Structures are given as structure tokens and as C-alpha cells.
Amino acid sequence: MSFSDLKSAPTGKLSWEFRGEELHLRGRLDLQTLEQHRTRLEKELRQFARPRLQVNLQGVEYLDSVGVAFLNLLRVFLPSQVQEVTLVQIPAHLKKVLENFSLPSQKERRGVLRGEWLADFGDQVYRIFQESVPQFFYLMADVFYWSVVDLFHSRHRRKGEFYHQGVLMGANAIPIIGLISLLIGLVLALQSAAQLRQFGANIYVVDLIVISMTREMGPLLTAIIVAGRSGSSIASEIATMVVTEEVDALKTMALNPLRYIVVPKMHAMIVTLPLLTFLADVVGIFGGAIIANIYLDINFSIFFNRMENVLLFRDLLTGFIKSIIFAGLIVLTGSFHGFRVKGGSEGVGRVTTASVVTAIFLVIFADSMLGLLFYFD
């Protein structure tokens, strides 16, 4: 083949002619010519009305693997009454090409298991309860153990990692958490203002805001935002390290990936999430105070006087305990999904999403369980 004409898209010639049972092909039978003439050729093949087809290749100059594929698949394009397709008068130089670039006739594919959907579903359920759930609890036990042990063994910690993570998870989250809890405080007060005014129970807006922020909204809101921010980054960081075999490398350097990667994050999260929650409480209550001031004629001094009576240490403690539990859940789900990653870069994306969804679900689930617990005591 000549390369000088390659730039101007080679349009080598292909021509054919049906003579009785014979199909004479001439010229080049390759990707270019087939792209150009295939539809017409296929149409004529579909109208072929004899039981036998002999393809005469004497005039063919060049054949590539697309041409070979076409010749081998001719039957697909022929009507079903054609019993037999043969290639005849194959020029010597094409024999090799036909031989080298044909698939061996119907080689059996080695055992590919194809499941039933019901069995697949069963497998899924089985896997969740027999593998995922126990794995999660093993991880939880391990991380809990090492988190406590490493409080007293600073040798195995990555230097500066606790501080670094604290900034990432805590300090950097301050603006968004402040903003959102302010808005929630405003909205909460605004929605209740109208109702309370009807009954002349304006002052109770303080109870409502203070109790709901400290016991419920503050911890929950903060945990959900942090699950989205830090939970996802924990999962994707760990998953990337697994995919690039960094975790394996750590193991072969006799390091425990849990202690090296997860424990500093756990420590940082357990310290910062309660602090963030406290911030959310304060800012949210402040938001409520603004609305009380504007719409309910409760000025700040009345508001904070009343708050002193309403705010129980127990409520703050409830929120504090909740946020510590949420912190553990977020780090655990992130690492759990991160270590389970399968496949390459796509897998990283998948486990990141999964970790955020699971973390938010677990946070809300735990919140309702704890709600029951604290309610009955």
C-alpha cells in the first residue's frame, strides 16, 4: 500500500459483480472501502436467491482484518435459504492474511457464570449481612481499640497529622456551619413566631429555640454537613490509597494502615465535631434571638434571661454525647467504604458516594435511637 495518499483519506477501490452463484470481488476489501460500499453490498447480498454462494477473491488486492471479518460473517448478511458459503480462487498473498486474521472456528468460551436475578439478589442480601455488617463491626472494634491505645503511644502516629486533620475537618468547616446554623435558627424562630403569637405565648420561642438547637438541630445539622464534607474526603482518600497500592505498601513497611491513616482522623473528628456542634448551637440560638427581637418584641436581655432558666446542662450534654457518636460513625463509614474499594478510579467515586449516603443515614438513625434513649431516662 502506498502511504503518500494516506493524508487525503485513501479511497481505494472496491467493486463486485454477481455471476450466477458466484460473487466476484475486486480491489481492496478493507475498512475504508467497506465503510463506503457496505450498505449497497449488503442490500444486494440480502436479495441473493440461490442456495450456494461462491465468493471469488481472485481480483482482490488487499485485505485487512475488517475485510476478513466481513468475509467470515457473510452468512449474517445473506438470506436464510443460503446453505453454503465458500471462498474460492484465493490469491496466494491473501491466504496468509485470511488464515492469520480469522478467529478459530467457534472456540468455546471458558466457563462464564451467568446468574439468575433472584439468586443475584439473594447473594446481595447475603453479602450485606454475612460480610458487610460483620466487617463494619470488626473495623469499629479495631479503630476503637487503636484510637484508645494510640492516645498513649505517640510513636505510631504520623507527625502533625492530628493538627492537620483538625484544621481540615474543623477549622475549615467553621464558615459553612456558622452560616447554615444561623439560617436554621432564623427559620425555626420565624416559623414558630406566627403560631406562638396567636396564643400570646411569645416568650416560649426561647424554650423552643434553645431546646431544639442544643438537643437536636445543632448536633444533627453539624454531623450531616461534616459527613458530606469530611466523610467523603476520608472515603476517597483511603480508596485512592488502596487503588494505587499505597495501603499495601504501608503494610509491607510493617505499618498498620488503621493506625497510620484512620486513627488520626478519628482523634481529630472526635475533638472537632463537638466543638463545631457547640458553635452551631450558639449561632443558631443567636439567629433565633434576632427573630424574637424583630417579630416577637422580645429584646435580647429578656431572651437571655429566659434562656438561663431554660437551658439545662443536660441538654448540652445530650448534644455533646450525640456529636461524639456521630463523629465516630462518620469516620468509620468513610474508612469502611474506602478500604472496600474495587476497581480503579471509578471505584473511588462509587465508594465516596456510598460513604456519604451511608454516613448520613447512620447519623439520622443513631439520632433517632438516641432520642428515644434520652427521652425515657
Partner 1 sequence: MNAEKQNKEAVIRVENLSAHFGKRIILREVSFQAFSNEITVILGRSGCGKTTLLKHLIGLYPVRQGRVEVMNFSLAGIEEDDYHQFALRIGVLFQNGALLNSLTVAENVAIPLEQNTHLPASIIDYLVRLKLHLVELENAADLYPTQLSGGMRKRAALARAIALDPPILFADEPSAGLDPVTLSALDELFLRLKHGLGMTILLVTHEVPSILRLADRVVFLDEGRVLYAGPLTGALESDIEPIKEFFRRELSLRSLKGSSSLQSRK
**If binding means CB under 8 A, how many residues of this protein chain bind partner 1?**
39
- Quote the least distance from Cβ 3 to partner 1, whole Å: 5
**In the complex, what is the shortest distance from the CB of residue 173 to partner 1, in angstroms, rounded to a whole number?**
32
Per-residue cell: 12: 481505494
End-to-end CA distance of the chain: 89
Residue 31 or residue 282: which is nearer to partner 1 going by CB?
Answer: 31
Do residues 266 and 157 make contact, with C-beta atoms less than 8 angstroms apart?
no
The rounded distance, in Å, linking the Cα atoms of 295 and 189 is: 9
Sign of the torsion formed by the C-alpha atoms of 151, 152, 155 and 159: positive
Is 27:12 a contact under the CB 8 Å cutoff?
yes
Rounded to 5°, the CA angle 71-75-80 comes to 160
Q: Residue 75 Cβ, how far from partner 1 at the closest point, in Å?
A: 10
For residue 163, give Cα distances in angstroms to 235, 257, 275.
Answer: 19, 19, 15
Give the residue among 247, 205, 275 at the shortest CA–CA distance from 339: 247
Question: Is 66 near partner 1 (CB under 8 A)?
Answer: yes
> Is residue 85 at the binding interface for partner 1, with CB under 8 A as the rule?
no
Candidate segments 144-152, 259-267, 319-327, 338-346, binder of partner 1 by CB under 8 A:
338-346
Cα distance between residue 92 and residue 228, in whole Å: 67
Among 19, 20, 47, 76, binds partner 1 (CB under 8 A): 76
* Nearest approach, Cβ of residue 235 and partner 1 (Å): 18
Position 356 contacts partner 1 (CB under 8 A): no
Nearer to partner 1, 31 or 370 (CB): 31
Query: Which whole-number Å values give the CA distances from 188 to 206, 251, 286, in the listed order?
Result: 11, 50, 12
Q: How far apart are CA 196 and CA 291, in angstroms?
A: 13
- Interacting span for partner 1 (CB under 8 A) from 68-76, 156-164, 230-238, 313-321: 68-76
Among 112, 253, 254, 372, binds partner 1 (CB under 8 A): 112
Q: Closest distance between partner 1 and the C-beta of residue 130, in Å?
A: 23
- Is 4 among the residues that bind partner 1 (CB under 8 A)? yes
Residue closer to partner 1 by CB (options 7, 19) is 7
- Residues 159-198 contacting partner 1, CB under 8 A: none
* Under rule CB under 8 A, residue 80 binds partner 1: no
> Phi and psi of 26, rounded to 5°?
-140, 145
Residues in region 89-108 near partner 1 by CB under 8 A: 96-97, 100-104, 107
Q: Cβ(313)–Cβ(226) under 8 Å?
A: no
Choosing from 17, 21, 35, 123, the residue that interacts with partner 1 (CB under 8 A) is 35
Helix (H) or strand (E) holding 119: helix 117-127
Residues in 230-289 at the binding interface with partner 1, rule: CB under 8 A: 243
Nearest residue (CB) to partner 1, 68 versus 209: 68
Which of 89, 343, 365, 368 is in the footprint of partner 1 by CB under 8 A? 343
Q: How far is CA 229 from CA 131, 169, 173, 328, 352, in A?
A: 27, 8, 8, 15, 11
The answer to whether the beta carbons of residues 34 and 67 sit under 8 Å apart is yes
Residues in the chain, total = 377
Binding segment toward partner 1, per CB under 8 A, in 32-40, 159-167, 186-194, 255-263:
32-40
Task: Kindly tell me which residue out of 72, 202, 256, 293 binds partner 1, with binding defined by CB under 8 A.
Answer: 72
CB 39, min distance to partner 1, A: 9
Residue numbers at the binding site for partner 1 (CB under 8 A):
1-4, 6-7, 9, 30-31, 34-35, 38, 62, 64-66, 68-70, 72-73, 76, 96-97, 100-104, 107, 109-110, 112, 243, 342-346
